[in-house]
Amino acid sequence: MDAPRLDHILLWPLQLRNFKQGHVDKWAEWVETQPESAWRKVNPLEDVSEDQRSSVLAYFHPFVRDILLCPRPGQESMEVLRRDDIQTAAVRMYEDSEPVVLRVVRAELYLFEARIAILVLEVETDQKLPLVETERLLDRFRRTYAPYFEGGKAQRCPAEVLWSFANGRTLKSTYETGFRRPTSGNQNIRSVSEHWSDLLFPLIPYPAPGGEPGWNDLADERMTAMTYLAVDNPESLTTGEWIRLTMLDPGEAHTLPYSKRFLANFQAKYCYDRFWDPKTKNHEWMNTRFCCSGYHFLMVGSAVSGFFTDARSGALSHFRTHYFYIGLLVHMQHVPLLMFLEKLLRATRLKDKAEYAESVQQIQREFAHFTSGVWFIELTPQVQGRELYEWWMRRMGTLKLYDEVKAEIALAHDILASQESSKLNKAAGYLLPLNLVLALFGVSGIDSKFHTSDGVYIGAIALACLLALLLGALWLGELKYWIKKGWNWLKRRRG
């Protein structure tokens, strides 16, 4: 079987590094104004028709629109940059094969105040490809570096990718780059292929020389992908083809990539079949199927259906707007949670108690801001949109990850509370002698005689005991915590 029409969107989550304190609009301005930068700030809906714009805005809840599509001035938590100079990507699967030429629909960079970025690249082709070649293209083009080498040759990635630019420039890139030695740490880091790193310029891989702003990959070499696939006869796809397309694991149509036991609940777990029932009488129009493995969202329908192939108001339009924004939101939720786990891990390695407490409290504040500001279980009043969003979140493990992060932060808070309780108990122990003095002379007696000579003498003793206790606590280090915390606060204020 051939695939007459393919639309493919790649999403690459990145961690922003070395950006100075400031708002996300300042970061976008820095990217836009660097010499030779092709990026420019845009409104995410500036290039769509008025009908598409109205449809997208009506699809999402107002609080989602305020964050993602039309934020209020001064309250932006996201900025979008776009470059229009890349026209095509010619992808050569093997050294001796003809390249598949993909038209670049959009190249966008989404910056979020959580110090993450998501690179979005959308490509399309109406070149008829055998389905197995389509599977290979989907699996390999998403790779940012070669997953492994055999005989010095990069495996399971394109042999070559060629960007063609509007000004006539071309950039040819291969994956034969091996490992890149990091400047710190003890782990080898793969070199990202040149065509991907060039696409992100002026952002450069972290660690950057001279402390320049850069990016750090948050996953392995496989980007998340979204695929719209129009075929002549969707119901003729075999079980093996459905599984291979969903899992991005190319192979023969009548074979399975995994064991039958592992795939026993494939349809129930990975397929959304609200509009998939083409073999039932009077349901022939129900020939659109959604599949999702978490790292791949797949939409398959009929190439002869006017609605499915309509790029203005039909299924293709919905794929490029409604479903794309659902995928963007899933990643906007998932990636910060991974970063929270990383921050908690770094906090546990701090030896200084004051620094540990300050770090945990900062994580608590950021997580509360994340939960109240950008974490939502529901994003649209549309039933199908709600179901797809929750389904994708579960395939990604985002809901489970949120609960894990929440529990880890609560545990860290309990540890801090226990330490504070221990300090209070020790402080009460140091004040015990003063309590005994007050009990010996009587609080009321001191009050009544404080202005007599005897009262002054007793009061002086009590004050001397209190001063001795305070000095003793300082000597023993109990007040060091608060002094250091205050000193760190003063340094931040001065800086």
Can you spell out the DSSP letters for 302-353?
Answer: ETT-TTTT-TTTSHHHHIIIIIHHHHHHHHHHHHHHHHHHHHHHHHHT---H
| pLDDT given for residue 49 in this prediction | 83
Asked if the model's pLDDT at residue 95 lies above 60, the reply is yes
pLDDT band at 437 (very low <50, low <70, confident <90, very high): low
Q: By CB neighbour count within 10 A (0-12 exposed, 13-18 middle, 19+ buried), where does 189 fall?
A: middle
Here the tokens at position 247 are 């899992």
| pLDDT given for residue 434 in this prediction | 54
| pLDDT given for residue 455 in this prediction | 53
Q: Give Dmax over CA atoms of the chain in angstroms.
A: 107
| pLDDT given for residue 24 in this prediction | 87
Asked if the model's pLDDT at residue 405 lies above 70, the reply is yes
Asked if the model's pLDDT at residue 448 lies above 80, the reply is no
| pLDDT given for residue 356 in this prediction | 87
Asked if the model's pLDDT at residue 302 lies above 90, the reply is yes
Q: What percent of the chain has pLDDT over 70?
A: 80
Rounded average pLDDT over 96-119: 94
Q: By mean pLDDT, which of 113-117, 202-206, 210-214, 334-338 is the weakest?
A: 210-214
- Beta partners for residue 96, in sequence order: none
pLDDT band at 51 (very low <50, low <70, confident <90, very high): confident
Q: What percent of the chain has pLDDT over 90?
A: 58
Asked if the model's pLDDT at residue 441 lies above 60, the reply is no
Count how many Cα atoms sit within 13 Å of the Cα of residue 388 in the half-sphere of its side chain.
28
Count how many Cα atoms sit within 13 Å of the Cα of residue 460 in the half-sphere of its side chain.
7
Q: For residue 215, what is the enclosing H or E element?
A: strand 214-217
d(CA 339, CA 362): 13
Q: Is the dihedral of CA 125, 130, 131, 133 positive or negative?
A: negative
C-beta separation of 112 from 44 below 8 A = no
| pLDDT given for residue 458 in this prediction | 61
| pLDDT given for residue 72 in this prediction | 64
pLDDT digits over 15-33, tens only?
A: 998 887 668 888 999 999 9
Asked if the model's pLDDT at residue 446 lies above 50, the reply is no
Average pLDDT value over all residues in the chain: 85
pLDDT band at 122 (very low <50, low <70, confident <90, very high): very high
C-beta separation of 162 from 171 below 8 A = yes
d(CA 382, CA 106): 27
C-beta separation of 380 from 55 below 8 A = no
d(CA 423, CA 133): 66
| pLDDT given for residue 381 in this prediction | 95
- Helices and strands (DSSP H and E) totals, the chain: 16, 20
Asked if the model's pLDDT at residue 266 lies above 50, the reply is yes
d(CA 220, CA 338): 14
Asked if the model's pLDDT at residue 452 lies above 50, the reply is no
d(CA 316, CA 288): 11
pTM of the model: 0.84
pLDDT digits over 179-198, tens only?
A: 453 444 444 456 789 999 99
d(CA 174, CA 46): 34
